[in-house]
Copies of this chain bind each other. A is one copy, B any other.
Amino acid sequence: MNKRVFLGADIGGTFIKLAIMDGQGNIIKKWSIETNTSDQGRHIPLEIYESFSKHLEMENLTFEHIYGLGIGAPGFVDLSSGIVYEAVNIGWKDFNLKQAMESYIHQPVFVSNDANLAALGENWKGAGKNVEDLIMVTLGTGVGGGVITSGQVINGINGTGGEIGHITVSPQDGPLCNCGRRGCIETYASATGIARMGYEAVQNGKETSLKEIMNLNGRITAKDVFEEAKKDDQVCRKIIEKVTDLLGLVLSNLAIAINPKKIVIGGGVANAGEELLSPLKKSFRRYCLPRTADACTFQLAELGNDAGVIGGAYLVKKQLYLYK
């Protein structure tokens, strides 16, 4: 029993990432299983349990060797009860994930929103370096977020805490968002939003190299827009300018309330690196209180897809008070 470990799970719409970790957040083993969304996702807890059983056994471990499981779900979660209020992509509604998992593994299970868990992981072992106050924003298919104040993730009263993607930037004439409203920052700063603006530029007959890319590949990606901007395509430069201007405004307004030490940018769009960060930092400083901006540094996320499971291990540590 002197080798006790932590389990982490990060449930996505297509895959569930699973990992066994030590107390320092080092991954002993990680793997994925497919997300079985049949029957409103009711088989997921058993399948997670069975997969952990198999892999623990391969490591000569049992569930008695674990401190607990930290698990992220893509939806609104109640931290204390472990109920997933709603996870549209999975099919859960008022589903007690904590109870379901604990009935199998007979060890403590803690549930969090997936983006909040990723922020926790990134703060522990990644770009955050355990600062007390941090904003993480993930620019992927959508825009996700996690906010940490005084070392605690903001979950909020009914699980929508940190939903940065739905902060409104152009309420009147913005693009329609998946949430049903208009002009959420997600409609601009996500990979989908950037690609859409590139596509619209081509549709509107703008003079841009995206036209050839569209002809060649049949589509335009956010990566294309960043690459052509780097080659000084003026239309692409304007798109990046708009994206970083709006995201800088959102982050500065949030930072004025949170006063974080770090803002960590993750997700596929973050692969653009300095092409994204440099104008974003300028825009942030333009809109932010100087004192707030002075205290805050931008960093790219470091853990990639492992952030969620590592955050899971950390959530267990925090909830069980396994150290300060």
Interface residues of A (CB under 8 A from B): 76, 86, 131-133, 145, 147, 149-150, 152, 154-164, 166-168, 171, 179-181, 249-250, 252-254, 256-261, 286-287, 289-292, 294-296
Residues of B within 8 A of A260 (CB): 156-157
Is A259 a contact partner of B289 (Cβ separation < 8 A)?
no
Copies of this polypeptide in the complex: 2
Residues of B within 8 A of A289 (CB): 160, 163, 166, 179, 181
Is A156 a contact partner of B133 (Cβ separation < 8 A)?
yes
Is B292 a contact partner of A168 (Cβ separation < 8 A)?
no
Measured between C-beta atoms, what is the minimum distance from A134 to chain B in Å?
Answer: 9
Residues of B within 8 A of A156 (CB): 133, 149, 258-260, 292, 295
Measured between C-beta atoms, what is the minimum distance from A99 to chain B in Å?
Answer: 22
Residues of B within 8 A of A164 (CB): 256-257
Is A160 a contact partner of B295 (Cβ separation < 8 A)?
yes
Measured between C-beta atoms, what is the minimum distance from A310 to chain B in Å?
Answer: 22
Is B249 a contact partner of A291 (Cβ separation < 8 A)?
no
Besides A157-B261, A157-B296, A158-B259, 12 other A-B contacts (C-beta < 8 A): A76-B291, A131-B157, A147-B258, A149-B161, A154-B257, A156-B260, A158-B292, A158-B294, A161-B259, A163-B292, A167-B257, A168-B253
